[in-house]
Structure 1
Amino acid sequence: MRRQRGRRGAAACTLALALVLTGCGDDGYEPTGPFRPLPEGQPPQVGPPTESTPPPGPGDPADPNSGTSRGDPNVVATGLTVPTGLVVLPDGTAVVGERETGRLLQVFPDRSPAQELMTVPGVDTAGDGGLLGLALSPTFDEDGLYYAYVSTPTDNRVVRFPLGGTPNPVLTGIPRGEVHNGGGLAFAPDGTLFVGTGDTGDPALAQDPASLAGKVLHVDVFGQPVGAGPVYSRGHADVTSLCPALDGTATLFAVDESSAGPDELNTVIQDSDHGWPAPGPTSTGPLFEVPNAEGGLGGCAAAGDAVFLGALDGQRVYVVRTEAGGVPEEPAELIAGRYGRLRTVVLDAEGGLWVTTSNGDGVGTPAEDDDKVLRILPPSATGSSPL
C-alpha cells in the first residue's frame, strides 16, 4: 500500500545489525568437482534457439574479462551482461544468469575466472524482459534442476532444466509487457514455489482476480496451484524478488518496485492485498518503503531479524531490521555508492552476501569492467570486514 513520504536518509551500517549473521569466515571453498545432473528427457523448449542465443556446450569459458577487477576483494567476477538471477550451490560457488543473453555462468568466491555453463534458449529481452530470476530445486542434490523465470515473446513463465538440458515449462501464461514483468522466485520450506509477477504496465491487472499479473503465486514443483488457486497475494506493481525468513516462522518477504510511488518491502500472507494501484479498506501496508530516487529495489535476502535489499537507483544495500514487526526510520546501508546500481542479493551459508551490479542495463553508467558479481562480508562482532 503506497503512501507518498518525504525522502529518508540512510545511516551508516552499525555493528549490531550485522550480528544477525554468523560464521562470516574466509572466502575459501572446497570444490567437489563438476556436478553431473540427472537427465530430465526432452520436454518442450521455452522457444527455439536463435542466432543471438545459440545452445553452447557446458563448461565453455566465459568472456575473458569475467575475472577479478583491480585487486578489489569484494569483486568475484566482471565483464558480465546485466546479471540478474543468482543462486549459491552446495559447494559454495554460485551460478548467475544474465538478463539480456540468457547465459548461466558459474562464479567462484576465490575469484577464479567465471565459467559459462549454458544459454537458456528462447528468452525475449524486449522492454525489461529477459531471464529475470533463478532458484534451485528443493531436491537439487538429487536432481540437479534449476528453475528460471523468463520472458518469451508471448508470456512470462517459469521453467526448469538440468545444465545443458532443454527447459521444461512449469508455469506459463503469466502476462508479458514492456515493463513490470516481475521475476521473483523462492521455494518455501515445504518445497512449494512462490512466484512474483508484475502488472505489465497495466495497474488494473494487479487487482483482477482472473489475471496472474501483479501477484504472488503459489504452486508446486509441477506448476499446479497450492490451495484453492495459484494467487497467493494481489495488489503488487512489480515483484522483482522474494525471500523467505530463515527463522522458522514461514514469513515471506516480497520486494515491490514501482515507477509511480515508493518502492516497498512487504510481508506477504495468504490472500493479502498490498494496495496497488489504490489502497482499499483491507489493504496491507508495507513493512518498509523507500522513495524512488533512493530505491529501484531489485533483490532481497533475509537472515535473523534483518532483510538485505539491493537498490538500483539508491546504489546501495539497505539493511532493514524487522524485530517485533518494527522498522527503524533510519535503515543501515552497505557499499553505498561504490559499485553503482545493485540488484540481486543472496546470502550464503558462511554469512557472505552475493550481490550483482546492473550498470549495463541502459540506465546506469557502466565502468570498463562492468557488470560485476560481488561477495561481501558484513561487519562481524570482531570488526573484520572488507567493506
Structure 2
Amino acid sequence: MSPPTRRQYLLAMGSAATLAGCLGPLLDDDLELATPESVPEDDWEPPDWEPAADAPVEDDVSATTVVTDLEIPWDLTFAGDDAFVTERDGGVYRFATDALTSEAGLTPADGDRVLDGDDLPDRAAPGEGGTLGVAAHPDSPDRSGLFVYYTVDDGDLSNRVVRYDRDGDDLEPIVEGIPGARIHNGGRIAFGPNDDLWVLTGDAGAPASAQDPGSLAGAVLRTTPDGDPVAANPDWGADGDPRTYTLGHRNPQGIDFTPEGRPIVTEHGPQARDEVAVIQPGGNYGWNVARGGPDDPQYGNYAEYDDATPPIVNTGETTWAPSGLTFYDGDSIANWQYRLLVAGLVSNTLYAVSLFTERVPTFESGVAFDAPWLDDRFTAIAHPLFDGAYGRLRHVDQGPAGALYLLTSNRDGRASGEFPRDRDDRIVRLDPA
C-alpha cells in the first residue's frame, strides 16, 4: 500500500479531531506550518488615521429596532437603493435602503424575497451551515450581480459561492468545493480594493486541513468577481490553490477593510482564544499548530513558530465568539470614527476596538492587547458595549448614511437567559445620539 499523501494525512488528523469533539489541542511536532513560495510585497506603513481620544461609550449612539421577526439573519449588505439580508435557514431578503435608514418597526413583509432557499441548488442548513454571506457588486446598481455564500448537500456537505444576476434571473456558481460540515463553515464574503471578492472559509471540523495549501478549508480567498484567482495572490506552489490569500484559520466570520484597503479578519478560537488579525499576504495564522502565547497551557506559542503570523487580538480564556465586523470610517458617530466594531455571539456584546500604532492613550476602561508575541503593528484596546442588551450579535454593518446596523442571532438554538425575546430576530440601527 502506498504511504498516505500529505493531504490524506491532514484530513485523517482532522477527522480524528472531529470525532474527539475538538476538546483539546491537536498538535504534532512533525507538522510544519505551510508557507507560500512567493508573496506580493507587503507595503505596510503606519496609517494616517487615528481613533478619537475619548473612549467609545453607549451614550454616543441611540438605538432603534428597525426590523423584527427575522429567522436567524446572518449578513447584510447595502447596494444603492437596496439592502440585502440573508437568513441562515432561508434565502435573501431585499429592503429599501431608505426604509432601513429612516424608519422603524419593519417586518419581512415590508421587504421581498429576492431568493428563496429553494432557489439555491442543493442548499442545506445543517448545524452552523445554511445561507450565510451576501455581497453586492461594487458597481451596483449599474451591475446587478448579487453574491451569496451557502452550504450545499449534494451527497456530501460543502459550501459554494454563487453570483445571481437580478436582471436576468440567472444563478452561476463561481467558487465551489469549499469544505463544509455542521460546524466551522466560515461564510463571510465582501468586496475589497480593486473590486476583488474576499471569501472566508472554515476548517469544517477538520483542523489540520487549514495547513493544506491545496484545500479551500481554513483560508481567506481572494478572487475576481468571476471567481478566478487574483494575479497578485501569493504562490503556494504546484499543489496550492491560487485563490488562497492566507491560511491557518479555524473559523473566520468577519472581514472589513481599513481606509487604505488593508483587510482585518475575526475568527472563532478553540475554547475561547478568539482572534482579530490584520491580514498580511501569504500569512499563516497558525491553526492548528499555534494559537496562543507563552503562558497558554494547551496550544502552541506563536513566538515559537517563525512561519506563524500572530493576530493583533487573542482573547485568551475569555470568549468573544466574534462574527461580523465593520471598520467604522464614517463621521456621523464622531467618537466611534476609525474604530473596529466586532459583533459577539456567546459574549452577547458589541466590541469597539481602537487600533494605535505609537501613541497609546490610557483609558479608564477597556482591555489592552499589548503582549509582545502579538502583531506589533498595532496595539488594540477593546471596549465592550451593549453587553446582554440584544443577545447574540451576528453582524455589524455600516450603512450609507453613517449609521450602524446590528443583526441578532437569538433563534439559532444557542441563546440563553431571556433570549430569544418576542419578535426576535431583529436588526437594530445605531444613530448618532
TM interval, short-chain normalised: 0.7 to 0.9
Q: RMSD of the TM alignment (CA)?
A: 2.5
Q: Which of these residues, 351, 357, 379, is aligned with residue 327 of structure 1?
A: 379
Task: Name the structure 1 match of 2:88.
Answer: 99
Q: Which amino acid aligns with 1:235?
A: G
User: 2:162 aligned with 1:159, yes or no?
Assistant: yes
The answer to whether residue 431 in structure 2 is matched with residue 377 in structure 1 is yes
Spell out, residue by residue over 1:11-47, the C-alpha distance to the aligned partner (whole angstroms, 9 max, x if none).
xxx983559xx9x9xxxxxxxxxxxxxxxxxxxxxxx
Q: Could you tell me which of 257, 260, 263 is aligned with 2:268?
A: 257
Matched, 1:240 2:253: yes
Greater CA drift, 220-229 or 366-375:
220-229
User: Larger C-alpha radius of gyration, 1 or 2?
Assistant: 2
Name 1:336's counterpart in structure 2: 387
Aligned partners of 2:274 and 2:319 also within 8 Å: no
Question: What is the distance in 2 between the residues matched to 1:15 and 1:97?
Answer: 36
More helix by share: 2
Report the counterpart of residue 343 of structure 2 in structure 1. 310
Q: What one-letter code is carried by the residue in structure 2 that aligns with 1:140?
A: S
Q: Equivalents in 1 of 2:170, 2:343: separation in Å?
A: 31
Structure 1 unpaired stretches of 5+ = 5-13, 25-71, 379-384
Structure 1 pair 328/252, CA: closer, same or farther in 2 (3 Å)? Answer: closer
Alignment of 1:40-55 (within 5 A): none
Q: Does structure 1 conserve the Cα–Cα contact (< 8 Å) formed by 2:56 and 2:383?
A: no
- Offset of 1:269 from its aligned partner? 1.7
User: Does 1:356 find its partner at 2:407?
Assistant: yes
Question: Relative to 1, partners in 2 of residues 1:244 and 1:73: Cα closer, same or farther, differing over 3 Å?
Answer: closer
Distance 1:292 1:179, change over 3 A: farther
Whether 2:191 is the aligned partner of 1:187: answer yes
Q: Which amino acid aligns with 2:111?
A: Q
Write the distance in 2 (CA, Å) between the matches of 1:327 and 1:144.
40
Change (3 A) 1:104 1:233: same
Aligned ranges for residues 111-126 of structure 1 at < 5 Å?
A: 111=104, 112-113=106-107, 114-118=110-114, 119-120=116-117, 121-122=120-121, 123-126=123-126
Measured after TM superposition, the shift of residue 188 of structure 1 is 1.6
> Counterpart amino acid of 1:156?
N
Distance in 1 between the 2:384 and 2:70 partners?
Answer: 25
Q: CA deviation at 1:323?
A: 2.6
Following TM superposition, by how much is the alpha carbon of 1:103 offset from its aligned partner in structure 2, in angstroms? 3.6
Deviations 1:85-104 (A, max 9, x none): 1012323x532110111242
AA at the equivalent of 1:128: E
Q: In structure 1, which of residues 263, 266, 278 is the aligned counterpart of residue 289 of structure 2?
A: 278
Cα distance between partner residues in 2 of 1:276 and 1:291? 15
| Matched AA of 2:325 | C
Whether the 8 Å contact between 1:196 and 1:215 is mirrored in structure 2 is yes
| 2:142 counterpart SS class | helix
Q: Is the Cα–Cα contact under 8 Å of residues 178 and 200 in structure 1 kept in the other structure?
A: yes
Q: Write out per-residue CA displacement over residues 364-386 of structure 1, whole angstroms, 9 at most, x where no aligned residue.
A: 131111000111125xxxxxx2x
In structure 2, the partner of 1:347 is 398
SS where residue 190 of structure 1 aligns? helix
Partner of 1:296: 321
- Residue 27 of structure 1 corresponds to none
Measured after TM superposition, the shift of residue 214 of structure 1 is 0.2
Tell me the distance in 1 between the aligned counterparts of 2:266 and 2:84.
Answer: 22
Q: TM-score, normalised by structure 2?
A: 0.68
Following TM superposition, by how much is the alpha carbon of 1:257 offset from its aligned partner in structure 2, in angstroms? 1.0
User: Which structure 2 residue ranges, 5 or more long, are not aligned?
Assistant: 1-24, 26-51, 236-241, 291-304, 330-337, 358-376
Q: Distance in 2 between matches of 1:323 and 1:238?
A: 26
Residue 261 of structure 1: CA displacement? 3.9
1:168-207 matches, cutoff 5 A = 168-207=172-211
Aligned identity (percent) is: 28
Q: CA deviation at 1:345?
A: 0.9
Distance (Å, rounded) in 2 between the aligned partners of 1:151 and 1:351 = 32
Aligned position for 1:382? none
Matched with 2:334 is: none
- TM-score, with length taken from structure 1: 0.76
The one-character-per-residue Cα deviations of 1:312-340 (angstroms, maximum 9, x if unpaired) are 011111011113243344x1233221110
Instruction: Tell me how far apart the structure 2 counterparts of residues 156 and 258 of structure 1 sit (CA, whole Å).
Output: 21
Q: Contact conserved, 1:106 with 1:117, CA < 8 A, in 2?
A: no
In the TM superposition, residue 293 of structure 1 has moved relative to its aligned partner by: 5.3
Higher deviation after alignment, 274-283 or 264-273: 274-283
Q: Show the counterpart of 1:136.
A: 136
Distance 1:141 1:290, change over 3 A: same
Task: Report the number of matched residues.
Answer: 314
- Partners of 2:324 and 2:176 lie apart in 1 by 23
CA contact (8 A) 2:63 2:431 kept: no
Q: Aligned partner of 1:341: which letter?
A: R
Mapped to 2, the partners of 1:328 and 1:173 lie a distance apart of 35
Alignment correspondent of 1:16: 54
Cα shift readout 1:129-157 (whole Å, capped 9, x = no counterpart): 10111111122121222111111113201
Q: What is the one-letter code of the residue matched to 1:196? A: L
Contact 2:79 2:141 in 1 (8 A): no
Q: Distance in 1 between matches of 2:396 and 2:270?
A: 21
